Structure 1
Amino acid sequence: MLSAYHADSHRYWLEGLMTHLPNIKWTVLSLPPRYFSWRIRGNSLTWAMQQRDTLTASYDLLIATSMTDLSALRGLVPELCKIPTVVYFHENQFAYPQSSRQREGVEPQMLNLYTALAADKVLFNSHYNRRSFLDGVDNLMRRLPDFTPRLEVAAELADAMILPVGLSSANYVKRAAGDRLRVLWNHRWEYDKGPDRLQELVKACSSAALPVDFYVAGQQFRQEPKEFNDIKSIILASDTLTLCQWGYVSDHNEYKAILSSCDIVLSTAIHDFQGLSVLQAVTMGCVPLVPERLCYPEWFGRDYCYLASDNVAEEAANCLAKLQYFMAQKRLGKLAAVDVSALSWEVLAPKYAEVFRDLVTCRVNW
């Protein structure tokens, strides 16, 4: 297993695979999720020069994340060309939202493409991820000046599969009737998770005098969008809103307790390929409230999606209307858990095993 940018979601996926496929003997090489530009371009050099003995050992299968510079690594360590290879896309570099911090140039995109083409099997965690990658590749091929193998590349990638990251078994806790709605926002504190949209929603909730207890959790970084200070100030100044949690919850049991107690898990994201933080909360009984974009419509019906809009205030109004509906349901004791058992590890692990087994079997026949 090569995990070149070992972020939390990548770690969760790997731990799930190792737990639910216990008959596999794993060897793992991973690199920390920092210095993005160097990490995605330099991982092949780092591993080829510092982990050659590990890489040239005998393996049945190689699994790499899409951040791995697989084509370069195979060139530097030719022994890897003899091993059937799976590449797993947690995300892709073609579907990042525009911002002043957006990575410039096509190199991260080309690295994704070369890595996919170097694999024997490509897996994506959602249809949205696969579609945005394939569309992005095709658009890039259209823009390049000449000798672009557009049709050949599309044909090579046509059999890429959807295989989501698995979820732990559901542990639904029924929510009692009540007059206050507990709303959890549990995403990375970065621009692509829509803090400007969360800020506008908090303002709308306060103006509508909606009785909401906000739990704002999620991973924090040294630098964070300025909207978070404003969000905190609006909630603390409101007559009807309360702030019950502010900041990352490091203790696992404390975090699970929050998931079990909240009524709604909210997303305002403009960038999400599977939405694991939302899905994990849903397994604990939170009702999802998500924008009708990205990966979310794959997992949840329209009852749980609010209409998305480029106009932030308009989108906040759409989300507020859904919150008011859920508030009415809460008062009647009718908030009901959502079934995401189709995404459990118990269902998905055998599908991973089948993909791995097929590739190993094909190797025997090479």
Structure 2
Amino acid sequence: MQEENSSTMNVLLVEAFYGGSHKQLIDLLKENVEGCIAYTLPAKKWHWRARTAALHFMQSIPASSSYRVLFTSSVLNLCELVALRPDLASLKKVLYFHENQLVYPVRKVQERDFQYGYNQVLSCLVADVVVFNSFFNMESFLSSISCFMRRMPDYHPKDLDKVIRPKCQVLHFPLQFPDVTRFLPNHKLLRRAAEVSHVDGVSALQGQQQHSQDDPQASWPEELASQARDVCLNPEPGRGKLDQEEDLWRSPSNPENQGAEGEKDVMAKGIKGVEGQTKPLHIVWPHRWEHDKNPELLFRTLLKLKERDLDFQLSVLGETFTDVPEIFAEARVLLDAHILHWGFLPSKDDYFRVLCQADVVVSTAKHEFFGIAMLEAVHCGCYPLCPKSLVYPEIFPAEYLYSTPEQLCKRLQGLCRRPHVARRHNIKVNTTAYSWVALKEGFKSLLTGQGYHCS
């Protein structure tokens, strides 16, 4: 498929898997960057797209002297394309990583097809700029190259990571957050009003979370880079942040509890009615129904809550594909009394309406390089609980992270007993930093090609 935006195109967008986040990014660039033309393939049969898309694009992309920049995702074997089409080799070649195949989880090591990761390494070697959607994605890829190449029986290449690293940069995936005000329940509207009234303080907090715009990699904490390399972290000792918040709220010495009309008093009144006190905690899990999202951990945890006679409501959203893990059918029966929504919601309004009604959003992922669904849920006012690994420490403060299945169960157990704690909590995640508004200049600069000369 091709779509032309003007008669003088100079940015060639090539996407071998035009679906999901890949489609969202291509559409954003087409709509907002002048002079783009896109060539895409439908988001089907991912493995064949990775193997053969270059041959298709060799024939479908017409020759043109107007091209200046070639932008593609790492699904495409860029090395093959520029070898088959030497006229494209002279362009500024930008490779964007939504995910990387060197650490993408497989059930058995034997199942990892060497060719996919090998294609990505070759693509990096011929690209001029290699862009990752997160620091975790970049560090996990670069630090895995040497080990990955040792799977070759002999003649192992050396120091490929050192060749590729100077080309690398991070430009987070840009989200277009919708206005969800009309979907928000009263307690979330009250909480949002309280957050706006403290905008100066919130801005200061968010500023601490943002990486330097001039040199984001210079400010990338070594601790998080280490997490990207090691993935597994030690359990976090001590009591959880929510327990401490609850103690503070209950304490008569808390000045905010002494005023009759303080902001928290107003918020408390807004959630102490039927909606805030008697309505069970609403948990949402908005992820793909695949093994790498670890649904087994989610349902195992929820069944423990059920066994302990804890009340909660559940929405399991996300897309399904050919091979749905069996645990979903089992959980549908065992958790039937708790289920509010089950399955993919094709309507964006319906999807965001459920997120707005939910209290807590949970990730149990074994693989996550960015996490669009979690940020969308936070935008809708959900309290996040994420693994203390993968990309999550890069985006979410420590109070929203759990290290072990036991910690996840304990956190959810506490929230089931005190759902009002989640409902009144001011979420300390700077979603604005991941919006298209904040990131568009970076993408526009990447695609202008100004000042670029191919060596």
Instruction: Say whether the fold is shared (TM-score over 0.5).
Output: yes
Give the equivalent residue in structure 2 for 1:74.
82
Cα deviation per residue 1:78-125 (whole Å; 9 max; x = unaligned)? 110121011000001111223159744311111001111111100001
What secondary structure, in the 3-state scheme, does the structure 1 residue paired with 2:282 have? strand
Give the percent of matched residue pairs that are identical in Structure 1 and Structure 2.
28
Query: 1:178 is matched with which residue: 266, 277, 283?
Result: 277
Question: Which structure 2 residue ranges, 5 or more long, are not aligned?
Answer: 1-12, 189-270
Give the equivalent residue in structure 2 for 1:211.
311
Equivalent pairs, count? 349
Give the equivalent residue in structure 1 for 2:29.
17
Measure, in 2, the Cα distance between the counterparts of 1:296 and 1:230: 29
CA contact (8 A) 2:359 2:383 kept: yes
Measure, in 1, the Cα distance between the counterparts of 2:146 and 2:162: 7
CA contact (8 A) 1:142 1:150 kept: no
Give the equivalent residue in structure 1 for 2:14.
2
Query: 1:84 is matched with which residue: 84, 88, 92?
Result: 92
CA contact (8 A) 1:60 1:360 kept: no
Give the equivalent residue in structure 2 for 1:362.
452
Cα deviation per residue 1:24-62 (whole Å; 9 max; x = unaligned)? 22111111222233211100111112x142x54521211
Measure, in 1, the Cα distance between the counterparts of 2:82 and 2:137: 25
| Greater Rg over alpha carbons, structure | 2
What secondary structure, in the 3-state scheme, does the structure 2 residue paired with 1:360 have? coil
Asked if 1:166 is matched to 2:177, the reply is no
Q: 1:191-340 to 2 correspondence within 5 Å?
A: 191-236=291-336, 242-308=338-404, 315=405, 317-327=406-416, 330-332=419-421, 333-337=423-427, 338-340=429-431
After superposition, the Cα gap between the structure-2 partners of 1:151 and 1:340, relative to the gap in structure 1 and judged at 3 Å, is same
CA contact (8 A) 2:143 2:161 kept: no
What secondary structure, in the 3-state scheme, does the structure 2 residue paired with 1:4 have? strand
Measure, in 1, the Cα distance between the counterparts of 2:412 and 2:121: 41
Give the equivalent residue in structure 1 for 2:192.
none
Measure, in 1, the Cα distance between the counterparts of 2:374 and 2:452: 37
Cα deviation per residue 1:289-324 (whole Å; 9 max; x = unaligned)? 11111111111112111113xxxxxx1x32121123
2:408 alignment partner AA: C
CA RMSD across the alignment: 2.2
Shift of 1:346: 1.1
Measure, in 2, the Cα distance between the counterparts of 1:206 and 1:101: 35
Query: 2:48 is matched with which residue: 38, 51, 57?
Result: 38
Shift of 1:263: 1.0
Cα deviation per residue 1:228-253 (whole Å; 9 max; x = unaligned)? 011112212x5xxx100011101111
After superposition, the Cα gap between the structure-2 partners of 1:5 and 1:27, relative to the gap in structure 1 and judged at 3 Å, is same
TM-score (norm 2): 0.72
Question: Which structure 1 residue ranges, 5 or more long, are not aligned?
Answer: 309-314
CA contact (8 A) 2:102 2:148 kept: no
After superposition, the Cα gap between the structure-2 partners of 1:152 and 1:215, relative to the gap in structure 1 and judged at 3 Å, is closer
CA contact (8 A) 1:86 1:123 kept: yes
TM-score (norm 1): 0.88
What secondary structure, in the 3-state scheme, does the structure 2 residue paired with 1:28 have? strand
Asked if 1:351 is matched to 2:442, the reply is yes
What secondary structure, in the 3-state scheme, does the structure 2 residue paired with 1:27 have? strand
